[in-house]
Amino acid sequence: MTEVKFKTAHDLPPCSISVTNELTKTGNWRNAKPVFHKEKCIQCGICWKVCPNACIILGEYPEWNMDYCKGCGVCAEECPKDAIEMEDERVMI
Amino acid sequence: MSTVKVITGNHAASFGARDCRAEVIAAYPITPQTQVVELLSEFCADGVLKAKFIKVESEHSAMAACIGASAAGARAYTATSAHGLALMHEMLHWAANARHPVVMANINRAMGPPWSIWTDQNDSLAQRDTGWLQFYCESNQEVYDTTMIVFKVCEQVLLPGMLVLDAYILSHTYEPVEMPDQELIDEFLPPFDPPYRMDLDDPHAFGALCTPEWYMELRYLIQEAHEKALVTAREVEKEFTKTFGRSYGVVEFYRCEDAEEVIMIAGSTASTAKDAVDIMRKQGRKIGLARIKLFRPFPNEEIRELASKVNKLIVIDRNISFGNQGIFFNEIKACLCNEKNRPPVYGFIAGLGGRDMKIEDITGIVEQADTCDIEEILWWGVKL
Amino acid sequence: MSKKKMMRASIPVEEYMFPGTVDCQGCGGAYAMRLALKALGPETMVVIPACCWSIIAGPFPTSALKMPIYHTAFETAAAMASGIKAGLEIKGKKATVMAWAGDGGTFDIGIQALSAAAERNEDIIYVCYDNEAYQNTGIQRSSATPWGAWTTTTPRKHPKDRPKKNMMEIMAAHRIPYCATSTCGHPEDFVRKLQKAKEIVGTRFVHVLATCPTGWRSPPEWQLKIPRLAVETCVFPLYEIENGVYKINKKPKEKLPVIEYLKTQGRFRHLTEEQVQYIQGEVDKNWELLLKKEKLGRIF
């Protein structure tokens, strides 16, 4: 999960004091992933604005950080032009 | 130039905090502590002490605010007693586990119900597992002096500490207290400079969840800090003696050099016990007194060394751990459990709820220890 | 060379929260923090008592935020924030100190320390992200749980039978300079209010409704839709109390019936028609009262 490697007690700070901002790769929580239809996008920025986890990168067009995207579907729900669709990623056995 | 003032124990604590340059004080009033914070409040208002005084609404919040201030890099101080200390319990754990050197004066006052404002040691001893350092004082001078000793030791090991004084017997009784030159104190106690603090230039999260993977190691570090505190306390006490002339040690020995039996006690009753020792010495008893000043961390070495040289220890507890025995008694016995040369240890419960401890009580206890059964839990003077 | 059109940003662009926080999908509380930090900027310190954010902020040795966080005991958010602020001030340092607590740590166990801090007018921003129950411990009721809602301690046969505590009025009664409601469904409103709060000295209280799909039994993608309905049905009005004067920020042109809000969440699924009518009555009554208070000038 993180690059921090503590080996013994004496490697630790005096209490649970953070030493890294690298978080869990929550991308593997997904059941569905956002699929972007660029042709419908009007660059309104709403998807970027509403992502609860800052997984959308603001630019010319949105880019998703799939390492962390949990597939919550908020971006798809809020997109005024239906430019984002949630696609089931689950594999049926 | 040092000055001498005739002041109460409470005010000795206030002056101690003032001269140690406490920077944030968050406190809630409780008898018999009120004068500690009242005088500090005056010092802040007069500009004599440059500190923020947060008038919190409870002791729990007082400790939380002190922890916050310490986390921000400020020297934090508070004072309380009995129920106030009990209310702080959760945050006492927090301060120690978070490694913040908050210093607190606790006035030993009996727990209720029934309501009691008089002294006994249950309140502070009930907190002995929280990780706080505990220093017990015998005189107002010692209260003043111990403030700077506690700050210095605690800031070196990053653990909180309390100095403990008896209700009324010290808190409200006037004794002369010599206060050294501020320059000497500033040299003895440099400004607080913790390795980690809430700092925009070095941001961290403090106190987040920790799984079993590293929790035990963090606790080990606290225990290690206590072991370091024991060594540091001895050194600081020596440095204190060198700088200011007065000497306490972590265990104070009175006429123990050739003693056959030694009374062990903490707090102001030790003064009375010293007089009793003098009387009994005149009567031909080879008796001494060992006053436990530092209780956490526990001074194992000093007690084992003492025990190896005497034939009997008589521990007087102004407290009781219900369902077991006096707390100092238990800890002393545990300390000696594996020693080859360990004398019999007798335990007495006395002076609970402020019941007066006179010279004849001490001599009476020592005489009772001549004949009583060592297995008995002896409550001195209880009306049965 | 023509300038490329970029995506529009209606809120500050800089991120202070890292992706990969372990909140549930569609968590209004996580989203609210993302917004709050954009509003307050980098010179902010966050105090987090026991609540969902104790976990969302990441386990040791990680931290989800760029700025310092102090995790603290449940009832102490306001006291800890007061202490940190005092410590910074005495050391000549400046920072916005924000206490970030859930409804439990604000309305219930934390109310004593909060009331005291407000009475002293401590210079802190206190944000209560309200998901209307003790969600982190598994959806138990708090005094912020609305009337009729299911929680594990207000089961379907005995749902919550007391009204939601009016925390805004309690805080305003302390005569603090600024109180405001907002929701995670109104990002520009929440950001604006925090930006405004930042410029005010004294205790500032912001009560933000935070969607909880897990506790409310709602689809995660309705993170903003549900609070918007809360405002449009007047269940959770957007208003400010600045120096004792009420100001309603949004008066719905068409006030929707409460059922539009209630039907989005499974925690209200068991309500009978009678109960829904009762809720409608209470919402209407409270809304009328709020409209009246706005006309009274300085109340606190």
A2 touches chain B (CB under 8 A): no
C:61-80 residues touching chain B, CB 8 A cutoff: 62-73, 75-76, 78-80
Per CATH, the architecture of A24-88 is what? 2-Layer Sandwich (3.30)
Instruction: Tell me whether A15 touches chain B (CB under 8 Å).
Output: yes
Give strand ranges (E) for chain B.
Answer: 3-8, 24-26, 52-54, 76-81, 103-108, 133-136, 161-166, 174-179, 205-206, 251-254, 261-265, 287-292, 294-296, 312-317, 345-349, 378-379
> For residue B74, what pLDDT is reported?
98
CB C185 within 8 A of CB C210: no
- Kindly provide the b/e burial profile for residues B159-195, where b requires at least 16 CB atoms within 10 angstroms of the residue's own CB: bbbbbbbbbbbbbbeebebebbeeeebeebbeebebe
Among B207, B209, B217, select the one facing A9 at the smallest CB separation: B217
Amino acid at C248: I
Any C CB within 8 A of A61 CB: yes
Enumerate the β-bridge partners of residue C44: C96
Among B146, B170, B123, B195, smallest CA distance to B9 is for B170
Residue type, C124: I
A35 lies within 8 A of chain B by CB: no
Q: Which domain holds residue C275?
A: 28-294
For C207, list phi and psi in degrees, rounded to 5. -110, 105
DSSP string, A57-84: E-SSS-EE-TTT-----HHHHH-TT--E
| Inter-residue contact B43 to B56 (CB < 8 Å) | no
What's the complex ipTM?
0.96
- Please report the pLDDT score of residue A93 as a whole number: 83
Give the number of other CB atoms < 10 A from CB of residue A51: 26
Better pLDDT: C57 or C3: C57
Smallest CA–CA distance, residue B51 to chain A, in Å, is: 27
Residue of C45, C19, C9 whose CA lies nearest to C187: C9
Q: Which of residues 79-108 of C touch B (CB under 8 A)?
A: 79-91, 93, 95
pLDDT category of residue A3 using cuts at 50, 70 and 90: low
CB A54 within 8 A of CB A64: no
- Give alpha helix (H) positions in C41-186: 52-56, 77-90, 111-119, 167-172
Q: What is the pLDDT of residue C28?
A: 98
Contact yes or no for A9 and B221 at CB 8 A: yes
pLDDT at res. B377: 79
Separation between Cα atoms, residue A50 and residue A16, nearest integer Å: 32
C268: DSSP letter: G
In a domain, C22, yes or no: no
Contact C84 B210 (CB under 8 A): no
User: Are the C-beta atoms of residues C172 and C162 closer than 8 Å to each other?
Assistant: no
Contact C21 A18 (CB under 8 A): no
Average pLDDT, chain C: 97
Residue B85 Cα distances to B71, B89, B128, C263, angstroms: 21, 6, 12, 49
Give every CB contact of residue B126 below 8 A, 6+ residues apart in sequence: B86, B111
Structural domains of chain B, with CATH: 3-244 (3.40.50.970), 251-379 (3.40.50.920)
CB-based contact (8 Å) between B221 and chain C?
no
Chain B residues close to A17, C-beta within 8 Å: 196, 204-206
- Mean pLDDT by groups of 10 residues along chain B of 384 residues: 96 98 98 97 96 98 98 98 98 98 98 97 98 98 98 98 98 98 98 98 98 97 98 98 96 98 98 98 98 98 97 98 97 97 96 98 97 89 94
Higher pLDDT, A92 or C278: C278
- Which of C42, C55, C84 is the closest to B68 by Cβ? C84
* Whether this model's pTM surpasses 0.95: yes
Q: C101-124, pLDDT tens digit by residue?
A: 999 999 999 999 999 999 999 999
The answer to whether C225 faces chain A, any CB pair under 8 Å, is yes
Residues C119-139: tens digit of each pLDDT: 999 999 999 999 999 999 999
Mutate to test the interface with C, among A11, A23, A77 (most CBs of C within 10 A): A23
Question: Cα–Cα distance between C299 and C295 in angstroms, integer?
Answer: 10
List all residues of chain C from 41 to 60 with a beta carbon under 8 Å from chain A.
Answer: 58, 60
Establish if C2 touches chain A: CB-CB under 8 angstroms.
Answer: no
Cα separation, B72 vs B70, whole angstroms:
5
What CATH code is carried by the domain that includes residue C199?
Answer: 3.40.50.970
pLDDT recorded at residue B1: 83
Q: What is the pLDDT of residue A5?
A: 83
C140-199 residue pLDDT tens: 999 999 999 999 999 998 999 999 999 999 999 999 999 999 999 999 999 999 999 999
Give the best residue of C17, C53, C221 to mutate against chain A (max A CB count within 10 A): C221
User: Does residue C126 belong to any structural domain of this protein?
Assistant: yes
pLDDT at C287 over 80: yes
Q: Note whether C59 and A22 are within 8 A (CB).
A: no
Count Cα neighbours of B164 within 13 Å in the Cβ-side half-sphere.
Answer: 29
**C195 within some domain:** yes
CA pair distance C101, C72, nearest whole angstrom: 10
> Are B98 and A8 in contact (CB < 8 Å)?
no
pLDDT band of residue C4 (cuts 50, 70, 90) is: confident
Collect all residues of chain C within an 8 Å Cβ-Cβ radius of residue B23: 87, 90-91
Q: pLDDT exceeding 70 applies to what percent of chain A?
A: 97
Would you kindly state where each structural domain of chain A is located, as residue ranges? Answer: 24-88
Q: Which two tokens stand for residue C141?
A: 């009721």
Provide the 10 A C-beta neighbour count for residue B353. Answer: 16
How many domains would you assign to chain C? 1
Per-residue pLDDT at B334: 97
- pLDDT at residue C239 tops 70: yes
Question: How far is C145 from C165, CA to CA, in rounded Å?
Answer: 8
pLDDT score, position C2: 65
Q: For residue A2, name the pLDDT band (cuts at 50, 70, 90).
A: very low
